[in-house]
Chains A and B, each alone.
Chain A
Amino acid sequence: MARRPPQGVQMLGSLLAAIAIVAAAIAIVTAHFGPTSSAELDARQERLEQREENIEELQELEEERRERDR
């Protein structure tokens, strides 16, 4: 029969396995949540605001063009 690793190594290994389980649980659950970090939410908000500004700008330009045409 193969010899088992020393007691300390066994303890460390089994503890590392527990840490791996915790890491896997965090990865799986946060993947379900999707991007909810404040940095990503801020970036998303900024993109939305930028898009709204662009639309407003385009509308203004369109209105100016119409007025000039009249």
Chain B
Amino acid sequence: MEDLIEELTRGNVTEVKVLLASIVLGLAVYQVLLAAVTYGWLRLPFLESGAAGWTHRASGDTILVLTVVVAIMCIGYSGFEDGGAHAVVATILLGVFATKVLVVRLGGRISRVLPLLGVSLLILFGITWLTSAGDFLGVG
């Protein structure tokens, strides 16, 4: 697995992970903004709830794929042992993310927890980024 990741990233494993994680964080912030428009908490003169919801789902699918890729790279290349706080927060993040996807699929009354799950995800993405990519870029 390590060799495959090395080969795919041409030896720039950390750089690729940092880049993908930063893209995910940027999109996650945008997701919260789109969700606020979708729920009608934020009213913009140029964006309706329906269009915001559509982009929220499209962007969310992208975030899911990128997060899984980064997680596979992290676990496959670095493992859990030396991860420290980053590994713990990232594991919680994956759990919350899986729960959110499940809640979206189930729908109904349980959907009321989606805003809470969304905000939790943004916070977890922020902490996970700060404890890895942020450290690497000298921000964390």
Listed in ascending order, the chain A residues whose CB lies under 8 Å from chain B are: 1-2, 4-5, 7, 10-11, 13-15, 17-18, 21-22, 24-26, 28-30, 32-33, 36, 38
Whether B89 is near chain A, meaning CB under 8 Å from some CB there, is: no
30 examples of A-B residue contacts, CB within 8 angstroms: A4-B48, A7-B48, A10-B48, A11-B51, A11-B55, A13-B47, A14-B51, A14-B52, A14-B55, A15-B58, A17-B30, A18-B30, A18-B62, A21-B23, A21-B26, A21-B27, A21-B29, A21-B30, A25-B19, A25-B25, A25-B26, A26-B19, A26-B23, A28-B22, A29-B19, A29-B133, A30-B19, A33-B15, A36-B12, A38-B10
Choice from A1, A4, A18 contacting B27 with Cβ under 8 Å: A18
B18 within 8 A of A: yes
Chain A residue numbers with a CB within 8 Å of B137 are 29, 32
Extra contacts besides A15-B55, A21-B27 (20): CB < 8 Å = A1-B45, A4-B45, A10-B48, A11-B54, A11-B55, A14-B34, A14-B51, A17-B30, A18-B27, A18-B55, A21-B23, A21-B29, A21-B30, A22-B23, A24-B26, A25-B19, A26-B19, A28-B22, A32-B138, A36-B15
A contact residues around B34 at 8 Å (CB): 14
Task: Kindly report which residue of chain A lies nearest to residue B34, judged by CB atoms.
Answer: A14
B50 interfacial by beta-carbon distance below 8 Å: yes
Counting contact residues on chain B (CB < 8 A from A), the size range is: 20 to 34
A-B pairs, top 9 by smallest CB distance, nearest first, are A10-B51, A14-B55, A25-B26, A21-B26, A25-B23, A25-B22, A11-B51, A29-B22, A29-B19
Interface residues of B in 18-39 (CB under 8 A from A): 18-19, 22-23, 25-27, 29-30, 34
- B41 an interface residue at 8 Å Cβ cutoff? no
Residues of A within 8 A of B12 (CB): 36
